[in-house]
Structure 1
Amino acid sequence: MKKVNSIVIFCASSLGNSAVYEEQASYVGKVLAEYGIRLVYGGGRVGLMGAVANGALAHGGEVIGVIPDFLNSKEREHTGVTKLITVDTMHDRKRIMNDYAEGVIALPGGFGTLEELFEMITWAQLGLHKKPVGLLNINGFYNHLIQFIDHMVEEGLLKQENRAMLLVADTIEELIEKMQQYEAPLVPKWIEKDEI
């Protein structure tokens, strides 16, 4: 079992309506720094992205930001990070974030956060990577999504073994523990056991 030393965080570029989201995003950054886990994130200095980066930086953590050039005007790049990588496209952003990270966590966010999360869990399902993918359910933010994912299983459209690949926890400490214990399935989706 390989220790996870670098985690990509997907989250909102806004703060949301509850102060708990910013507080917990900052706390996530703090915990990653204290655990010696490198933070890889979207490179912005605003919203929950900025909060998680600042939380890590304030506690001596290593922070790598990856931001598309066209988003600089909207998300405003964070110039205080350890390393800032500017790319051309959203696809390049995700590819480079994936290259730098050994695990994935989604904090509260909108469409972009969900798109990033589901692409990474789909890649894992297909065996394109073996990294743990986690959902940090801050303040019950993802309760309805978790219920919907379970509904997919009930309706026979998602296998239980693939559902189990998405790690869920209410605290960052619990989620990191689950990620450190995670072992990817031996048989990716679409490969029958008798084919290997």
Structure 2
Amino acid sequence: MKIAVYCSANNNIDPDFFKETQALGHWIARNGYDLVFGGTNTGLMDCIGKAVKEAGGRTIGVVPQIIEKGGRTFGDLDVDIPCDNLSDRKELMTAQSDVAIALPGGIGTLDEVFSTASSATIGYHNERVIMYNMKGFWNSLRSLMDDLQARNMIRGDYKQHIEFADSLDDIAGIIGGMI
């Protein structure tokens, strides 16, 4: 199984997010899963890549040319998939993975989450996104999604495409149920 991870490339965030990201990376590798990620050497992206490698796992980076030119590519990629831009990156990450996990992040992470979920809703793929709700980070998004659902702004049940996990055990249970 290949797991895409969407996350922050910012170093100046809550240190607990790095600890939980490291644990996730170790779990991914110990279970024999491959990591598909944005392939940068900063923030949680760097952290997840290092953790997977520390635990003997394989990293697949989907790296826009502008990041490579800027020297911000993760230094220990097993597979480097270059791409032209962020739109290409999202499509390639989805094509390369079986499930996605969203860690704390900003606009880019939200863009990846909603691109993956919206393309699944109209039948391009069956990939789900798991929102790793570290320290309640995604609580406001969960409330928004529930509100949109209650107002009939979402066709069907969004939980078929976006699930929330409050712990690594929750993630393991969701992914275990997919295998």
Instruction: Please confirm whether the aligned pair reaches a TM-score higher than 0.5, indicating the same fold.
Output: yes
Residues 116-125 or 67-76, more deviating: 67-76
Q: Which of 75, 82, 99 is the aligned partner of 1:103?
A: 99
SS of corresponding position for 2:61: strand
1:160 Cα offset (Å): 5.0
What are the ranges of 5 or more consecutive residues in structure 1 without an aligned counterpart?
184-196
- Separation (CA, whole Å) in 1 of partners of 2:57 and 2:95: 19
Determine if the alignment matches structure 1 residue 114 to structure 2 residue 110. yes
One-letter amino acid matched to 2:87: H
Determine if the alignment matches structure 1 residue 125 to structure 2 residue 121. yes
- Separation (CA, whole Å) in 2 of partners of 1:103 and 1:75: 28
Determine if the alignment matches structure 1 residue 6 to structure 2 residue 20. no
1:79 Cα offset (Å): 2.1
Residues 154-163 or 85-94, more deviating: 154-163
- Separation (CA, whole Å) in 2 of partners of 1:138 and 1:128: 29
Q: Could you state the TM-score of these two structures normalised by the residue count of structure 1?
A: 0.85
One-letter amino acid matched to 1:151: D
One-letter amino acid matched to 2:19: E
- The corresponding residue for 2:153 is 157
One-letter amino acid matched to 2:103: L
- Kept in 1: contact 2:63–2:81 (CA 8 A): yes
SS of corresponding position for 1:13: coil
What are the ranges of 5 or more consecutive residues in structure 2 without an aligned counterpart?
none
- The corresponding residue for 1:138 is 134
1:30 Cα offset (Å): 0.6
Residues 124-133 or 36-45, more deviating: 124-133
- Kept in 1: contact 2:129–2:162 (CA 8 A): yes
| Deviation digits for residues 127-169 of structure 1 (CA, Å, limit 9, x no counterpart) | 2111222110011000011001101011121245234431111
Q: CA RMSD in A?
A: 1.7
Alignment of 1:6-155 (within 5 A): 6-72=2-68, 76-155=72-151
- Separation (CA, whole Å) in 2 of partners of 1:74 and 1:148: 36
Q: Which of 159, 173, 178 is the aligned partner of 2:169?
A: 173
SS of corresponding position for 1:61: coil
Distance change in 2, residues 1:23/1:98 (3 Å): same
- Kept in 2: contact 1:132–1:179 (CA 8 A): no
1:182 Cα offset (Å): 4.4
One-letter amino acid matched to 1:52: I
